[in-house]
A and B are shown apart, each in its own frame.
Chain A
Amino acid sequence: MFQLTHTPICPQAFQAKMAHLAAGGYVSFEGWVRNRNEGKSVTRLEYEAYEALAQKEGLLIIEEAKNRFEIIDARCVHRLGSLALGELAVWVGVCSVHRGPAFDACEYIINEVKHRVPIWKKETYDNGDSGWVNCQQCAKAVAL
């Protein structure tokens, strides 16, 4: 399962869906909105997605993880819209018979989501500036 949501993520609700009697363990990752990035003081984040393609690519990553690692289930949910500091931006959960594959699959999923899923993040800074993350060069070109 891969899901995009405009409302706050409740990790307990997603964890409950991972319950499986064959599972010996469950690994999760939570990505939080932090207050600094590349030396700048961040005050809030705005996430935007190309939802139709993000949903497809996210689901593909989950299926890849299930094929690559010996896991029972994997899920990921990504928040969209305006987020305050400390809020949960992304949640990944994996359960497996033994812990190793769950750790590996969880890392694989978050890495691939960050690199491949069409989701963008705009940071607002305490000096009032804002910028699209990973588009610094674009932003510089715009400033010129």
Chain B
Amino acid sequence: MKKTLISLSLISILTSSLLFADKLTNAEKKALMQGHTTVIIPTAGDLANSLKQNKNLHGIQWDRFIDVKIDPSKKYKTQKDKALHLGAKGADAYFLAIAKNSSDLEAVANGINTTLTKIRVNKKALRNIIGQENLKSLETEVKAKRWSSVLKKIAKLKDDIQFQFEKANKQSLKKLNNIGGWIEGYRIAVEGFNSKYSQKDTSVLIQTSLIEVLTKDLKSIDSYGKKGEILTLLNSIHTILGKAKENTLSKAQVGELSKLLESAKSFL
């Protein structure tokens, strides 16, 4: 009954009369293509969910590729380092949710909590700004193993973090948070394909246009010590993807990507 009402509500919103269809003219399309558009970076959750739905990839244990322990020798000194790291941990959280690994996800959530206390926005710890509620409800859902809900909580937390960066005009932190999330999500995806190669499905790894957007974002960030290293990584990935044939990657190319992305572990 409840489901019927929810479905009906959605249908009522979704139902639209096509009688008044007034589509874009070719001239309008052209203008839009040439004009400025706002680019939204997808989350690692989108990617993880897409991989989960692919039957050819069933059996891959995505959590195998995630190291929940933080190397004590790693220092996240600057706010930018922390934002990048936070993005990467968010990606880990998504993949652990897909892998239904509650113990590792709890560990990652704790790490996210700690990092949130160390990132300061307008002289306040980010955790205090966004509140404890999000993290607590995430923990509750993880413990209850309500995986669909866990994904939603992670997405909400990610959105809140991004919103606070935006509100405080911390564009560089917002961008690095996205870049960290993308690199880590992509690394995990590549590791998955490296362990279970499926040629036609490698098209999901050919994210050339997205890498170009991330590269542009990274270039716009001033005085960041790891910028050169990350740009080199993105450029190298872009080069390999440029060699793709028929929108797929060979096993050797996936192996190359895997080796390249190994270096990302040192700065994420």
Same complex for A and B? Answer no
